[in-house]
Structure 1
Amino acid sequence: MSWSGFGKWPGAIALAAAILVGCSGAEASATPLTPFRYEAQAQRHCPHDQVVWLDFSKGVYYGRRQKPYGQGYDGSFVCLSEARDSLYRRSLFGLR
């Protein structure tokens, strides 16, 4: 098909382009994940939120009462809300 065939429907092409442009700007922006080396730094960053240990290699986070909390080389302290917004899941290890 040549470009001359598109001249029959200029309104439809313009509408399709407007929809594509409009949909790309409608994406929800997630809260950026701010990892910290020390628990106190994370608590200062989010004073009204719980601090969790995020294990990047496993894609899970641990609460303070769980044994892997603060352990490992592939993790950081983050705010609970930021971990959830970034789609990390809670680990059930050690919970009853």
Structure 2
Amino acid sequence: MSWSGFGRGLGGIAVAMLVGAGGAEVAATPLTPFRYEAQAQRHCPHDQVVWLDFRKGIYYGKGQKRYGQGFDGSFVCLREARDSSYRRSLLGLR
């Protein structure tokens, strides 16, 4: 096999890898932030509403001290926050 034929063979492998990788994508739930808790609860009536601090990348539950506080946050559905790889805060848990 010549080097020119070798390059074409690798190109075919690369294309096959790219095509195969497209089917393995995982679709994340889109994050829908709300200014008010009631809006978030209407958006996800069967889920818990949490306060998401975008700057810290964590969320707070309703019983936690920082729930609903701060300028860099928003109310979101718990499932959406988890699916978007945000983690829960352990501060203020009772």
TM-score (norm 1): 0.86
- The residue type equivalent to 1:49 in the other structure is D
Alignment-mate amino acid for residue 29 of structure 2: T
Number of aligned residues: 93
The CA RMSD measured in Å over matched residues stands at 1.8
Q: How does 1:18-29 map to 2 (within 5 A)?
A: 18-29=16-27
SS at match of 1:73: coil
Counterpart CA distance in 2 for 1:7 and 1:83 is: 50
C-alpha distance after superposition, 1:49-74 (max 9, x if no partner): 00000001111100000111111100
Where does the alignment leave 5 or more consecutive residues of structure 2 unmatched?
none
Question: What is the 5 A alignment of 1:71-82?
Answer: 71-82=69-80
Aligned residue type for 1:15 = I
Match of 1:45 in 2: 43
User: Which ranges in structure 1 are unaligned for 5 or more consecutive residues?
Assistant: none
Aligned to 1:64: 62
Q: What's the % identity of the aligned pairs?
A: 74
Aligned residue type for 1:93: L
